[in-house]
Amino acid sequence: MRISTLLLLLVVPSVWASELCDKDKGPTGLIECLNFNGYYGEYQWATCLTSDHILEISGQYHICKDRTRHYCWYKCMSEVHRQNYGPVSHDCQCDPKQLLPNTSLPQQCYSPGANLSCYWYRNCLEKKHFCKPPGNAYVIRYAERFCRVFEEQKPKLSPDAKKWMEAVRKCQQVTMIPLLRDSEDKNCKQIRDKALASYSQCYLDPGEGAKSICDVSCWDHFKIFWAIRGSFLKLDTGWGSLKGLWNIGTQCTSPEIQENCFERNLKNVIQLLKLNVENLMRRKRRSSDSFSNDDILNRFADGVGEAIATALKWNTHVMNWLAYTTKWVSLSNVDLIIAMADIKALGIVTAPIESVNFEQIINDFASAVKKGTLRLQVDGYNIWIKSLASCIDKSCAITRTLAVSNEPPWNGATRIFHSNFGMFAGIAMFIMVIDKVLF
């Protein structure tokens, strides 16, 4: 165990502060504005936490100086900036005369124990930071789904994968606990950014002696991924959370190992297709929903996937799918990837029917594109699948063309222009900005 810095307990007045954070009783999560030695007399927020919890959330970096104390004060400068002396930064400064942050949450919210509750996100985090916009809410709900999937899939995972998932779900909660103690209110975008950053961090280095995702079997990796995907009846903007786990292999020290493992072991159970899609305009009222540009793109991709799955009557009892964007060619043209997984072959479901016949599914898809029989609509807009290709590798850098459509299946359809309203007007503006930056 590496403990390179001891958490100082010198407060003014020390007796008063020690009584507030009792050495044996806490309470956990109590926040006070205190003055510690070494910070030029400046006040900062401090939180009463258990020594074990401080050790955990600091990555084995801090611990109570008085080893007889079960609880002690954790200074903001130590927690946020790992600085035990010097000036107090703006985000940690406080006025002892001002009102304290809301600490009305149950004590267990601040210090999750060995028996983690998947309801921590709604009972603790959402009560402190309620995020109504769907794109932000999905990020928090994703963590809850990840937690629940572990409980459902645990008997079907290898020992390494079980240990990894248990460590990750604990890591995710521990990483986001500071959001409950923040002295300043965070907006939903800040909550979302913090959550997304914590996911990748925890996948790669979950702690608790667990392996990195880079060292877990790729079979287990994608079994976990598709189990989480299956927990969303409608993915909508949820791809913003899922893509971290889908693409995490690129952050490994040797990403080619993950790529080779995927191609060697999973090609028969996961298939990827690349589509070139054109959006054909049909007038509609502007939506009142508030989405970020990324969420607009993610929502559109999921809508295209849903429309295809419905039109081709995919059996989602044994096959799940995922649609996501790659790059935008022009204001009305986009490339999408559709990943399809045989969830029965992966061991996620045990339906008493045959596994997926990918060859038949892909042939039917290609035939419909060639014949122009896929009359798809997404959010009131007509969609034209102009080409379909199979992906040779997971990144879809190498493809093989399967079908090309020469005419749109919609008679009299018109392309989108800048004057159109609705969801794709927002997309057009976003792409124009990107075009200027990149070109």
CA distance 121 to 104: 16
Check residue 363 and give its pLDDT: 97
* Cβ pair 96, 41 in contact under 8 A: no
Check residue 415 and give its pLDDT: 38
* Cβ pair 294, 236 in contact under 8 A: no
Q: For each of the chain's 439 residues, which pLDDT tens digit applies?
A: 334 444 444 343 355 666 788 889 887 777 788 999 899 999 988 888 888 878 877 777 888 988 888 889 999 899 888 898 999 998 788 888 775 555 567 767 776 654 568 888 888 888 887 776 555 566 677 788 888 888 888 888 889 999 998 888 888 887 787 777 665 566 777 787 878 888 888 888 887 788 899 899 889 999 999 988 888 776 655 677 788 888 888 888 787 777 788 888 888 899 999 999 988 754 444 444 566 677 778 888 888 999 999 999 999 889 999 998 876 655 478 899 999 999 999 989 887 878 899 999 999 999 999 999 998 988 788 899 999 999 998 889 899 999 999 888 876 443 333 333 344 444 444 444 444 443 3
The pTM of the full predicted model, rounded to 2 decimals, is: 0.74
Check residue 275 and give its pLDDT: 95
Residue position matching structure tokens 């004060």? 73
Task: Name the β-bridge partners of 390.
Answer: 273, 400
Check residue 290 and give its pLDDT: 60
Q: What DSSP string runs through 318-340? A: TEEEEEEEEEEEETTEEEEEEEE
Q: Which amino acid is at 256?
A: E
DSSP conformational letter for 272? E
Q: Which of 282, 314, 309 is nearest to 379 (CA)?
A: 282
CA distance 304 to 300: 6
Check residue 300 and give its pLDDT: 84
Return the beta strands (E) in 209-332 as ranges: 270-281, 319-330
Annotated domain spans of the chain: 11-100, 120-250, 267-438
* Cβ pair 326, 257 in contact under 8 A: no
In terms of Cβ atoms closer than 10 Å to its own Cβ (0-12, 13-18, 19+), residue 306 is middle
Check residue 175 and give its pLDDT: 79
